[in-house]
Structures are given as C-alpha cells and as structure tokens.
Amino acid sequence: MNEEIKIKILNIIYNEPNPIDAIYISKKANINLKDVCECLIELEKELKIRVTRKNKYTKTAFIFGKITIFKNGIGYVNSDIQINKINLKNAINGDNVVVELIGKNEGKVLKILSHEKNYEVGQVIVIGNQKYIKLDDTKKKNILLLVNNDTLIVEGHKVAVKIGPIVKGNIYKAEEIKVIGHINDPGIDILSKAVMFDIATVFSEEVINEANNIPNKVIERDLINRKDLRNENIFTIDGDDAKDLDDAISIKVLPNGNYLLGVHIADVSHYVKENSELDKEAYRRGTSCYLADRVIPQLPPLLSNGICSLNENVDRLTKSCLMEFDQKGNLVNYELFDSVINSKKRMTYKKVNDCLENKNKDYSYEPFIQDLKCMQKLSDILRKKRENNGSINFDSKEMKIIIDENGKAIDVIKKERIESENLIEDFMIAANITVASHISYMDLPFVYRTHGEPDIEKLEEFFAFIKLMKEKISKIPKNMHPKVIRTILEELKDSPNYEIYSNLLLRCMQKAVYDVNNIGHFGLSLENYTHFTSPIRRYPDLLVHRLLDKYNKENFLYNEERYDTLIKYLTIASRHSSIKEQNADKCEREVNKMKSAEYMENHIGETFTGKITSVSEFGFYVDIYNGIEGLVKLIDLNNAFFDKKTYTIYTNNQNYKMGDIVDVIIYSSNKEMSYINLLLANKPEKNKILKKVIGSNQNE
C-alpha cells in the first residue's frame, strides 16, 4: 500500500513548480498526514525527492534506473547515461540505482536502491581455506560472495544467496544462504535456473497441509447447484506425459445442423479459496513452469494431478462453456455454468491424430471416432473463420530436450504441432473468446489477455531486410491490421528461409500480457480475449473463474468504491502474472540453451551442416541441430567485416548472409556459460579433428 501512496505523492510533487509542504500534500492526495510523512521520509532516503531549508519538498534532478555493466567495466543506465568504472560506487549489473549527471551523457552512482533479484544463484568454491560463492549470472562472474562460519555448505553446493554489504574490491558478504543441492545431483542444474528466475521449487508446509485437508474425491454437497453432465460423452485430449488435465471437450450436432461444442474446465476455484495459503502460493508463482524433463507446478501435485485434474472415469467439478456454432462458425448461442463431469476417456494427441487420419489401431478409441471426426469439421470451420478475420499463425516449432535418468541431455528434437493439437487450441480459443465477450458486455472489472500492435520501427526494418533478401511481398499499407502480417507470412511460406522470416517477424510483435484495460488481441485479431481454460497452471484463469462466480452468483452490486477496489487489485494481479509468465518463458529458454550446450559437449570436433539464422558484428549464428544454435565468431573468419546495410559478413574468400547453408565444426561447448562456439569446416587446421558428419535435420 505504501508504494501506491508514494506514487501519488511523487506525482503531486513533480507536477508542482515550487516546493510544497506535507500538509498540502496530505490534503491534495486525500491521505492522512501520518502516512504521508512516513512516505516522504522513505522517498527522501531513496533520493527521489529533496527537502528544502524551509522543510518543503521538491523534485530532484537525479536519474533513476537499472544499470547494465559490460565486460569492459563501463556501465549504462537507461541505455544512454554512461557510468565509468570509477563512478560505479560498487554497483553491480542489474542494480537499481540513483545517478547524478556529471556531463551531458555521463553520470555517477549516488546510491544503490536495490539489487536486481532478492536471491542470486551460485556455486560454493574454496580458495585457500575460505569458502566463497561464485555467481551463475554471466554478467556477475567477477563477483565473489564471502561465506562466514557456515558449516552446512560444502564445495560444489548450488545455493540461493542474498548479496550483502561489500567487503573489499569485488568481494561481498553472502547472506541468507539456502542450499539447492550439489552440482553432481541429477536435475540440480535445472532447479538452479528456476531459482535464478525467482521460480519457487518447493511448497511450504502450510501449503501442503492445506492441500492434504482437501477431499480427494467429489462429495455430495459439492453437487448443489451444478448441472450433472456425468452421462455425457466428455473426454480429454493431452500430451502423453501430461498429468494436470484441466480441460475436457464434448460435441453434438443439433437438429438444425448446428454444432454444440462443450468446453469443460476444472473448477479449481472451488478448492483453492481466495486468500487461503494455497491461493497465496498460486499467486506468488503465477504459472506452472515447464523445464526440459520436469514441471514446476503452480499448485501442489495432490491438487494439480488429483482432485483438480479431469482424470478418466472419476467425477470432477467443472465450469462448462456450451457454445452453439452454425455451419459458418458463427456463435449463435452460449451458456456458462457450474457442472460435474466424468471423463469417459483420457486421450493423447498422437492417437487422436491417428483417428483423424484413419490410422487408428487402438480399439478403445473406436466409440469416440464419430465425435472426433465431427470435432475436426468444426475445428476447420473455426480456424478458417479466424484466419479470414486476420488471425496470425507464426507456426513456430518447439524444442524438446530428451533427458536421461542421470539428468543429462541425450538428444534434442523439434516438435511440430499436429492436427489434434490444433483442434484443442481452436476449441480453447473459442471458449476464451466467449467468456471474455460475456464479461465485456457487462462492462465490469476483468482480466483480459491483450496483445498490442507491433513495433512500427521494427516492422520497417523487417520489410527493408526482406527487400534486401529479394523476396517479393505486397506493398505495406499505412494502417496496420493483423491481416497484413498474415498476408506477409503466406507470401513467404514457400521460401526456404520461411522459418527465419517468421521468427524475425515474431520479434516485431509485442508480448501478450494480462490487463484490465481491454485493448484487444492483435495477434488473434480479436476485440475480446481472456484466459479461462487452464486454471491449474495459470493464475489469471483462476481469477477469471472467480470473477464469473462473483458476477453470476453473488449479484454483484455496482458502487464506485467496490469497483475501484476490484480494479486496483486486478491491475496489480495482472501485472504480477505477466511478469511471472515472462520469467517462466525466460527460464525455459535459458534451460534449453544450457542443455543444448550440454548435449553438444559430447560432439566436440564433429561437423554439422546448418543454416545461418542471424548475422551481426560479432559473427553469425548457425542452426546446427533441431534448433540448437552456435556462433561462428567474426574474429575466427579470414579478414572478415560486417556490413550493416546488407546484413552480410564479407571475407577474402566468401560472403555470409542469413539463410546460407554452411558446414561447421563444434569447436567448444560450455554448459555453464550456455554457449556453443563453431568454426567453419573448411579451415584445414581443424579438419584433423573431424569425427563424423551429422545433417542438421537428422537424428543420431
């Protein structure tokens, strides 16, 4: 609450031309004087305001921001203010700092407000007889944390640690050390990455106890005011390894020829009550995190894999969204209600796909094939309608790391989306649209899944690059619409570099976020969209379920105070959920990079054929094996230079640009640093260590 008051106070002070006193601020902000004074003291300590000799408050000329420190020791705040080594005041990369300008674009650090993270991750090392912690963050590798009198940790332990006060030079005190595990323990490398991104890996005793007190089966009183759908032909379709089954589907063809699609979602809100320990923990986590061979769940497995999971042949509580679609995919009627179901079959994507392609060999699927074929027809109709409206499909392929029992990466494969996965996606999108539209018409506080328009400058760079690559695309209109992006992708579809272009275009897009302000979803070309279908693994979906209950069951009475309170809470929760989602995504990418490098450590000296995916002043990246990328450094090329105008590296013998096919040798690979260094295979001094050639699209 203090942060909100502080923001209000800052807005008042920074909008006043002259210094003002605390009483004036209190009246202007409509906040009691005691709270105002407490916040003013904090703001002064943070150097965000200054006090005049007459005890009045005014703005400062200081700059606030996050510092980025490069290998040469020079830092930058907000990208444009340079901080030389002598003026860093012991700031480390990622610190939030206060800076005083000492030149036009030069400053010095006055104060370190906070470190980037509450906890850093590092490894215990011993130098002489003294224990230190060496941080995993590559931008903080020069920092050592001094361990004092801690007998519980030994050399090789991975730990979470707080950076304490500086001791001397680049040595800081280690505080609040928590052991993650030992570097030789299987899976500790992945858990360490999770902790680095503030992803909780264990549940507290209070949370587990609360989960243990929840019944492990549906009881009679749970069925009050619920529609009984237990005799309906409802089933789930998920991946082979999935255990948290939060959505089930059903379909009927009505006498008028329309389709009645049922999307039935686990009623997690029935068990995870607002402000309970389970709820607080789910909020903190924000999302489940999927890392290589493991899931770090939002809810304890007792719930996520048990009473909340729509397992086969057991009763489960659900929220159902029944939607009637005509033959053109228009929604003509819908109904939202609480229900109880009994899933008739736990299906997998692969086996459903076999059914859709008339290759079914599993007899247990036979009773459902007619429904699956009907679903396929509706899915095709809904997808075509979305595509005609401009919905964009970047058709990106996922990387899947195969891990052995010792936690080592033994292969990397590229997963391509199959028809059965598209079918589920189409139905989930339909339900999300229906729920979002339902609340949007009420004009009540809600959590939307929003996606802003793309960055115009980035798009212009992309179009210039496509022109440079001599690809033909339509003229770009001034008014940006999703159909424009879709048309570009379709026109580039047959290019051998389509995947590269698609990824570049995707980087021009904004990130989708959760927000109370409904600006629509650009990527899906929708006015109203939310996340309703995965409450087991996403906190915003759980919020959406609660809001449906609040508005549909509690006779929500509009008054300004209640409205404002709810808006404030949902705004904070939406921002928090967006950040946690982005952290999980970053962590997943970092784990993939780390395990890819680990996999390639066993292929040093081998030659791969790959495609150049990006070119810069540092060199060029090559996709060498199912999405694994390595770097050919500019300094390892013969008299090479980078031409920014043509995105090309020129050498004495050859030129290199995006999309070129090259043979490269794995020169070095470092799991800890998550990098793979490559050399061109035509360098004679390196051909001596050639072992074998593996095509970039082959499996070993």
How do residues 641-662 score in pLDDT, each as one tens digit?
A: 999 889 999 998 889 999 999 9
Directed axis angle between helix 560-600 and helix 277-285, to 10°? Answer: 60
More confident site: 293 or 324: 324
More confident site: 181 or 560: 181
- Average pLDDT over every residue of 401-408: 94
Q: Worst-scoring range by mean pLDDT, 426-430, 631-635, 679-683, 695-699?
A: 695-699
Which among 32-41, 277-286, 479-488 has the top mean pLDDT?
A: 277-286
Structure tokens at 37: 């004074």
Closest C-alpha to 160, from 186, 184, 191? 191
The pLDDT assigned to 200 comes to 93
- Conformational region of residue 535, where left means phi above 0, alpha means psi within -120 to 50, and beta covers everything else: alpha
- Average pLDDT over every residue of 17-39: 91
Cβ atoms of 473 and 492 closer than 8 Å: yes
What is 381-402 written as a DSSP string? HHHHHHHHHT-----PPEEEEE
Q: Has residue 263 got a pLDDT over 60?
A: yes
- Average pLDDT over every residue of 23-32: 90
User: With the C-alpha atoms ordered 209, 210, 213, 216, is the resulting torsion angle positive or negative?
Assistant: negative
How many whole angstroms separate alpha carbon 3 and alpha carbon 312? 47
Long-range contacts of 78-82 (CB under 8 A, 24+ apart): 80/105, 81/105, 81/106, 81/107, 82/106, 82/107
Q: Has residue 554 got a pLDDT over 80?
A: no
The pLDDT assigned to 534 comes to 97
Q: Has residue 663 got a pLDDT over 80?
A: yes
Q: Has residue 688 got a pLDDT over 60?
A: no
Neighbours of 258 (CB within 10 A): 18
What Rg, from alpha-carbon coordinates, does the chain have? 28
The pLDDT assigned to 30 comes to 87
The pLDDT assigned to 686 comes to 38
Cβ atoms of 624 and 596 closer than 8 Å: no
The pLDDT assigned to 690 comes to 35
Q: Worst-scoring range by mean pLDDT, 26-30, 149-153, 414-418?
A: 149-153
Q: Has residue 358 got a pLDDT over 60?
A: yes
According to DSSP H, which parts of 258-315 are helical? 277-285, 301-302
- Average pLDDT over every residue of 482-502: 91
User: With the C-alpha atoms ordered 431, 432, 437, 442, is the resulting torsion angle positive or negative?
Assistant: positive
Cβ atoms of 302 and 215 closer than 8 Å: no
- Average pLDDT over every residue of 455-474: 87
Kind and range of the H or E element at 339? strand 331-342
Question: pTM of this prediction?
Answer: 0.87
The upper half-sphere exposure of residue 9, i.e. CA atoms within 13 Å in the direction of its Cβ, equals 33
Total residues found in the chain within this entry:
700
In the predicted model, what is the mean pLDDT of the chain?
91
The pLDDT assigned to 695 comes to 36
Cβ atoms of 246 and 308 closer than 8 Å: yes
Q: Has residue 697 got a pLDDT over 50?
A: no
pLDDT level of residue 698 (50, 70, 90 thresholds): very low
The pLDDT assigned to 303 comes to 97
pLDDT in tens, 162-179: 998 889 888 999 999 999
3-state class of 406 per DSSP?
Answer: coil
Structure tokens at 412: 């990397």
Cα separation values, 236 from 76, 249, 343, 691, Å: 51, 6, 7, 47
Q: Has residue 236 got a pLDDT over 90?
A: yes
pLDDT in tens, 62-111: 888 899 988 778 999 987 899 998 998 888 898 989 898 898 889 999 88
What is 550-580 written as a DSSP string? HHHHS-PPP-HHHHHHHHHHHHHHHHHHHHH
Residues in a beta bridge with 172: 145, 166
3-state class of 665 per DSSP?
Answer: strand
- Average pLDDT over every residue of 379-394: 93
Cβ atoms of 295 and 288 closer than 8 Å: yes
Q: Has residue 694 got a pLDDT over 80?
A: no
